[in-house]
Amino acid sequence: MKFISFSQTLFLLAACAFGSAAHAQAYPSKAIRLVVPFGPGGSGDIAARAFGQYLETQSKQSVVIDNKPGANGIIGTEQVKTSPADGYTIELITNTTHAANLSLYKKVPYDPVKDFEYIGLFGTFGSVATVVAGKRINSVADLVKHSKANPGKTFFGYYNSASQMSAELFRAKTGADLTGVSYKAIGNAITDLMGGQIQVLFLEYLPALPQLEGGKIIGLGVTGPTRYRAWPNIPAIAETYPGFELTSYLGLAAPAHTPPEALDYLNGLMVKVMQDPAGRAQFEKLGLAIKPMSRNEFKTFAAGEVGRWREYVKISGIQPE
């Protein structure tokens, strides 16, 4: 029988302890890729970049923002689904990617529940109906009247489910004669609004802000249930058409089977940044109603959004593509 000396035993115990500690502290130990399944400039992209900077500061690791636009967020989301489930690829998810697309398309190449782990929610937000200034359309009632007087000639642009469904729900609720035009990115839609190729564009609060401040476009009404506090003079659409409401959300997810310690770490940072006054203020500037949640709370919330957006699509009469 071969005996192990006392010094050898201490060495083995120390090695095991060191290995366990190193494993516990392993995440994150390299750069993290944060996929944004939309083009630059939208609320999701800006929120991802804000959190990416905070994550870099806290983790001491690089965070790469990877914009993967296309197919209403499906291309980037599918890429995340098939990425290694190691915590180093995460996604900025929205009601578009993980709720609306299930009703807008006959076939979606991912299951939002089975194929993903839900990390946390940043918050919810609304949109604002915008038109070019000086066109004698100064209210949502004016827009409805104009569209009916010019059948087939009033177009709305959309670049994600929020911008599409806001207009479609508005059309269904008001009887406005509106025709949709799809865009890959928000910038192209804004350019065409300015150029007169489309007549109305529903923009999330943050990307709408510089456009409204520039004075070339005006806001007719917001889709939230009440007026957005930053724009007290822009009414809620519900003030003219009672019952109208549409809000969206921004959060983070990862491929299914991502280690719980990585998910918990990221959720903890999301909660932490929202509790920090400076961090919270930064996200509130995005137009978000801040709603930190645990991973399980966010998963339950996201599942409820699937049903809510299914009802929006049904009311709007949109046929799945």
**DSSP of 198-245:** -SEEEEEHHHHHHHHHHTSEEEEEESSSS--TT-TTS-BHHHHSTT--
C-alpha of 45 from chain center:
8
Q: How far apart are CA 294 and CA 271, in angstroms?
A: 8
Q: What is the pLDDT of residues 242-259, one digit of tens each?
A: 999 999 999 999 999 999
Q: Tell me the pLDDT band of 8, cut-offs 50, 70 and 90.
A: low
CATH superfamily for 31-124+247-316 is: Bordetella uptake gene, domain 1 (3.40.190.150)
Spell out the alpha helix ranges (H) of the chain. 6-24, 43-59, 74-81, 95, 101-104, 140-149, 161-174, 186-195, 205-214, 237-240, 260-275, 277-284, 295-316
Backbone angles phi, psi at 37, to 5 degrees: -80, 25
C-alpha of 106 from chain center:
22
Share of the chain above pLDDT 70, in %: 92
Mean pLDDT to the nearest integer, 312-321: 85
Q: What is the pLDDT of residues 147-156, one digit of tens each?
A: 999 999 999 9
Q: How far apart are CA 84 and CA 254, in angstroms?
A: 10
Mean pLDDT to the nearest integer, 80-86: 98
Residue 155's beta-bridge partner residues?
A: 179
Decide if 31-124+247-316 and 127-240 have a common fold: yes
Q: How far apart are CA 162 and CA 247, in angstroms?
A: 8
Contact call for residues 134 and 165 (beta carbons, < 8 A): no
Of the options 1.10.3210.10, 3.40.190.10, 1.10.2020.10, 1.10.540.10, the CATH number for the domain spanning 127-240? 3.40.190.10
Q: What is the pLDDT of residues 167-217, one digit of tens each?
A: 999 999 999 999 999 998 889 999 999 999 999 999 988 889 889 999 999
The answer to whether the pTM exceeds 0.75 is yes
Annotated domain spans of the chain: 31-124+247-316, 127-240
